[in-house]
A and B are shown apart, each in its own frame.
Chain A
Amino acid sequence: MKLVRLEKVSRAYGRTFALHRVSTTFESGSATALLGGNGAGKTTLLNILATLDAPTQGEVHYDALSWAQVTRRARRSIGWVGHDPLLYANLSGAENLTFYARMYGLSDIHDLTQGLLERVGMADAHDRLVRDCSRGMVQRLTLARALLHDPALVLLDEPLTGLDRAGRADLSKLFDMLRSQGKILILSTHDLATADALCDRALFLRRGRVAHDTALTSPGDLLSAYEEYA
């Protein structure tokens, strides 16, 4: 997947618009931070991009495929980190990853899961039940689950929740690697410093509309923009 394009996308719940005529593009190898206050529409936008919610108006294209075509045939190319970890509490981290790997029909599952667990800093706790893991450890496992099937589009809703400084550093390395592989990364966050460090673009949403869209070229860009647009 090289390009995701939104054209006048709206999502209404009754008479309230969570998103209103949003048009933008996300390119391969880019990392975009979705920013805005509570209720700005960040999660709704991510849900629509993940095909977990349908736009009420407008169109979303993933390269040449429409939203409906991706929903039916190409959801595999999406990696999703939401508010919930989407992990089974009574299984260990390694068992969860193995389960999802089998569901995706992946091969070399043992090497794949071990590699991912190492990459997210969970190799030592791979056999610990998820219910016994800390919030930060669960978040690391969630990242591993989302990247397991090598998705082209990675959507992360508040991925920094519960991560300590080391976790954020690991995430930064992971982002660099994913960008170099040509993935499209989109994350929503309220953590400006980390968004500044991880992303090369910021998309500000306010009341469901795009308030500002800017490239992040130097440290500190984000803070000044946030004060003005979020």
Chain B
Amino acid sequence: MPPRFLQQTLTITAKDLRRELRSREVTTTTIFFSVVVMLVFVFSFYRDSRTAPLIFPGILWVSILFTSTLSLTRSFADERESGCLRALALIPGTSVSLYLGKLLTNLVYILTFELALLPLLVFSFEVPFFENPGAYLASLAAGTLGIAAIGTFLSAMLVHHRLRDILLPLILYPLLVPVLIASVRSTQLILTGEDLEAAYSWIRMLFGVDALVLLGAPALFGNVLSAIE
């Protein structure tokens, strides 16, 4: 029998994914948006394969950031519209599991559109992805986790705010600057192959930030939940 909070976490994620499978609201929007953003960037900035390593990391992470915002703003939409936060608040131990469940859901959404985005970008920029696939994936995983972990927390804080769709990026983007810098630098270093050790240092730093957020956010989420229930 899994620990209670783990069972609750998976229940929340399963519920969100079941709903998404029916409506395809988030995945359709994010995949479409990410591909459009990528196409605009490719046609605007791509010159030749020599300049590709300089612009590819920026395009990749800006695309991920913009598209992630779409799914992050919808994180608690169901709970807001149905008022279910009140019912969840009456269930003991839901604060941690609600955060982790929503985080997991967001990770699934973000990884889904990354699956669509990454091959297109790699193909368009002729990026030597298969020279260091492990390093690319580690950088992608660490950056994505950082965006989802901070974004899910902020999304909950703003759930009842009238201007939440505007405020979320306004607050989220400045907070994500360290994550984005580390993600872009690590991707760039892997791409050029100049200094893989430095790339791994950036990735380690990213995972460090992720760990801090993953420790802090669930601990604080109880206060957020009691304020928004």
Contacts and interface: CB of A to CB of B under 8 A. Distances in A.
Contact of A95 (B18, B81, B89): B18
B220 to A, nearest CB: 16
A99 B94 CA distance: 13
Interface in A141-165: 145
A69 interface: no
Given A84-B83, A91-B15, A103 B88 contact: yes
A84 B89 CA distance: 14
Contact of B78 (A85, A90, A104): A90
How big is chain A's contact interface, by range? 20 to 34
The majority secondary structure among interface residues of chain B is helix
A50 B19 CA distance: 29
A84 B91 CA distance: 17
A105 B82 contact: no
Interface stretch (A12-20, A59-67, A75-83): A75-83
B11 A52 contact: no
Contacts of B89: 52, 75
Interface in B5-21: 7-8, 11-12, 15, 18-19
B86 A84 contact: yes
B92 interface: yes
Contact of A52 (B19, B22, B229): B229
Nearest to B97: A103
Nearest to B222: A72
B7 A105 contact: yes
A8 B11 CA distance: 41
A85 B82 contact: yes
A87 interface: yes
Interface in B201-229: 229
Looking at B4, B22, B86, B87, the one whose CB has the most chain A CB atoms below 10 A away is: B87
A9 B6 CA distance: 38
Given A75-B90, A76-B92, A102-B8, A86 B83 contact: yes
B8 A103 contact: yes
Interface of A: 50-52, 73, 75-76, 78, 80, 82, 84-91, 95, 99-100, 102-105, 145
20 contacts: A51-B90, A52-B89, A52-B90, A73-B92, A75-B89, A75-B90, A76-B90, A80-B87, A86-B86, A88-B15, A88-B19, A89-B81, A90-B19, A91-B18, A100-B87, A102-B11, A103-B8, A103-B88, A103-B91, A105-B4
